[in-house]
Structure 1
Amino acid sequence: MQFDEYDEAAEEPIISPDTQNATHFHAEEAPFEHRAKFKRFHGYNSGVWNGYWADKTELRRLDNLALYDAISSQLELTNYQKRRGRGLFDSLNLNALGHSAALIAVCVCAYVCRDDGRMYHPYRKLENNDSLFVDFVEGLGERKNVVAACYNRVIRALE
């Protein structure tokens, strides 16, 4: 096994945490005078902030995953479906799909649910579609052809 030369005098870059850290600091539970410190510790441990700048890409990813979690709960997915869909949603390049993250999340949920018999497609008859999906998509205010285009793009990206 070959080891690379390590320069002790060189400054080490601080761009990401060394390991995934599961410790959570809850600043609101700390005494008032220590809250800023605990908020800073939380930023360090989450890997999204190093004290000087935040990783905007990681923050956006975490926001999108939280959005997926909320939508999958509202659509009453099982725990297995939520986990499977979350991984699929995280693997997608949302910018390349060209639709809102919420609409993409609904389409991923529909993709995951179809294996268990819960079907949704915007052009299916209402009685053949899952009512939770129909109601949720109507609340988004998107036209049918936009929802269908997003659904088809998501399916192609996942298969």
Structure 2
Amino acid sequence: MDYQQILELVKEVSKAGLTNFEYTEGNIRIAMSCPQPEEKIVVPASNIALQEAIGVSANSVNGANTAGTEGVAAQSQAAEAVGEKGGNLVKSPLVGTFYTAPSEDAEPFIKVGDTVKKGQTLAIVEAMKLMNEIESEFDGVVTEILVENEENVEYGQPLFRIQ
């Protein structure tokens, strides 16, 4: 099995969302495992300002502690905030480190306002020392880049908005 075949195998296993995978061919054995991503609670600043404006804290509703439902509410608010603007979201197919360019001194693959075609490389996500190209799933114009360069990303995290 050559290097390109291994890269393709990693991409397909990541795309399928598998947490464990093992492959044996002759004396070659490849085992991959990916821990379940931790659920992060992201509350956009606009939601915090709204809560402060109406006098409701994230921890209480009518004086009752809602720690058990707080994460679910914050997650749904964050998802609504990302989805409010419309367009198509390109999401991370795996957990790793997000890079906007092929190297530190190179120009970014794309910028806000660029027109992209389906299959065009938008960024790279590094996982286990392998560089995985993130390709556009849509034709359109990049209206928003939702992740900063060298930021850690989770599986399914929105990376770009394309309209």
TM-score, length-scaled by structure 1: 0.26
Higher relative contact order (CA 8 A, sep 6+): 2
Higher strand residue share: 2
Task: From the CA coordinates, give the structure whose radius of gyration is larger.
Answer: 1
The structure with more helix, counted as a fraction of residues: 1
